[in-house]
Amino acid sequence: KPSASWMPSSSPSVFECPEDTISDEDQGVINGTDIFGTVFTQNIGFNLMTSNTTSYGKACVDGMIGISPPFNFLFVIDVSGSTEKQFKGTAVGDINDDERSNTILDAELDSVIKAIEGFVDAPSLTNDNVNIGIVTFSTEATYLGNWGAADPNDPKVVNPSLVGNLTSLSYGGWTNFDDALDKSIKYFENDAPDVGARTNIMYVLSDGLPNRCGDDDPNTAENNCANGNGNENKPGTIVFDSELEILQTDYSVSIHAIGVGAGSDVTPGSGLDKLDNTRNPLTGDNVTKVTTSDELTALILESPIFSDVLELEVKVNGVVLPYVNASHVRSTPTGYAFGTTIVTGLDPTKDVENNITATVLLDVGGNSTTTSDQLTLSTETIVLGTAMPSF
């Protein structure tokens, strides 16, 4: 407890998190066993960000558990004619203002925007360490450009230029996977910042079968490729080995392929199956088909960490906070996150050091009885009081 009263004598009715923050990070390696009995490892970071000072005995706390920034994200979105179809699940509305609500395209755009909002909501992710590229594809593909997730003038708001480009998209045309990959290479080759040092992640969303051949594909399916009949999934329409090699070898891109709707094909050997290189070691799954907007959003926001958060403990000056625990962790495209949480119990007296510590226990498979596949990470920040005591 404070040793003296402090000025001002009471907290404001609405506490706003200060922009001045401090952070601490712990990193470790967790071991697991895949479905074939082979041991795999994954590097995990735990970043704790808190207020740097306190005047009212309160502080803001955020945490990120997962892959540490910086990141380049590329979203590759199918806008072919078939994305005009209605899509099941929670209504998302008319995202692109084309007077057709709850279409496949609306669901695709809504899920991507939710991912971007998640980046903006995480204080440890900023325009300095997250870049977002957008490619759309139908008969041909278009690279729209790259942006920071947040408004350059307000880091707490989603970038209006980025969202504006997404919500202006319309449907039409056939489906060309090959050109989508060509335009994806353009992003990583020319525009993605620090591409050799960042984690590069790519999502491909498509609702149907590729029915257009690419620039240097063989003529084995030329007729079907040319007429765009929607029934030709191979071989001519999925000959893009050279593009995949560039993305995976030159830029180490993790490619998540998602079949959006019942008309998509995720069977072994299909185009989407060929694209995806992110097999889950615990299930053996890689490419996934979703049939509702809820499933699509959950998959876009799914954590890439192959372990569960068993325990999360936050302390202020050694006192455990019961209102911050593992149940408050949410999944994000970079791992898990918690906060922003306003914590109390700090001494705001000038120059008093307040300790905020956070500890997380991770387990591959979520089985608390096994310890060989667990990892504990701990972080600590010191929040200085700034209020002048009044005697």
Q: Which of 283, 300, 317 is the last residue of a domain?
A: 300
Q: Per residue in 119-130, pLDDT tens?
A: 999 888 999 999
Using the predicted structure, report yes or no on whether residue 207 has a pLDDT greater than 80.
yes
Do residues 108 and 246 both lie within one domain?
yes
Using the predicted structure, report yes or no on whether residue 3 has a pLDDT greater than 80.
no
Do residues 117 and 185 both lie within one domain?
yes
Q: Per residue in 157-205, pLDDT tens?
A: 999 999 999 999 999 999 999 999 999 999 999 999 999 999 999 999 9
pLDDT of residue 19: 82
Q: How far apart are CA 210 and CA 232, in angstroms?
A: 7
Cβ(93)–Cβ(101) under 8 Å? yes
**Six token digits for residue 51:** 């207020």
Cβ(133)–Cβ(140) under 8 Å? no
Q: Which run of H or of E encompasses 39?
A: strand 39-51
Q: Per residue in 345-382, pLDDT tens?
A: 999 999 999 999 999 999 998 888 989 999 999 999 99
Pairing of strands 71-78, 199-206: parallel
Using the predicted structure, report yes or no on whether residue 232 has a pLDDT greater than 90.
no
Q: Which of 238, 265, 300 is the last residue of a domain?
A: 300
In angstroms, how far is the first alpha carbon of the chain from the final one? 16
Looking at this protein, which amino acid is placed at residue 73? Answer: F
Q: How far apart are CA 25 and CA 312, in angstroms?
A: 15
Cβ(53)–Cβ(386) under 8 Å? yes
Q: Angle at the Cα of 293 (from 292 to 295), degrees rounded to 5?
A: 65
Do residues 376 and 249 both lie within one domain?
no
Using the predicted structure, report yes or no on whether residue 228 has a pLDDT greater than 50.
no
Do residues 296 and 386 both lie within one domain?
no
φ/ψ (deg, to 5) at 114 = -65, -40
Do residues 259 and 158 both lie within one domain?
yes
Q: Which of 241, 275, 300 is the last residue of a domain?
A: 300
Do residues 96 and 55 both lie within one domain?
no
Residue owning tokens 């992110």: 278
Do residues 15 and 110 both lie within one domain?
no
How much is the average pLDDT of 83-92? 96
> pLDDT band at 230, cuts 50/70/90?
very low
The tally of domains found in the chain comes to 2
> pLDDT band at 143, cuts 50/70/90?
very high
Do residues 366 and 382 both lie within one domain?
yes
Do residues 171 and 216 both lie within one domain?
yes
Q: How far apart are CA 85 and CA 101, in angstroms?
A: 10
Query: Please, where are the H alpha helices in the chain?
Result: 104-121, 160-167, 177-186, 222-227, 241-245, 271-275, 293-300
Strand partners, 136: 77, 142
Using the predicted structure, report yes or no on whether residue 96 has a pLDDT greater than 90.
yes
Q: How far apart are CA 275 and CA 252, in angstroms?
A: 14
Domain residues for 132?
71-300
Do residues 247 and 311 both lie within one domain?
no
Residue owning tokens 């082979």: 38
> pLDDT band at 225, cuts 50/70/90?
low
pLDDT of residue 390: 67
Using the predicted structure, report yes or no on whether residue 218 has a pLDDT greater than 90.
no
Percent residues over pLDDT 70 in the chain: 90
Using the predicted structure, report yes or no on whether residue 41 has a pLDDT greater than 60.
yes
Do residues 163 and 270 both lie within one domain?
yes
> pLDDT band at 391, cuts 50/70/90?
low
Using the predicted structure, report yes or no on whether residue 289 has a pLDDT greater than 60.
yes
| DSSP state, residue 237 | G
Pairing of strands 39-51, 53-54: unpaired
Q: How far apart are CA 275 and CA 331, in angstroms?
A: 24
Q: How far apart are CA 14 and CA 25, in angstroms?
A: 29
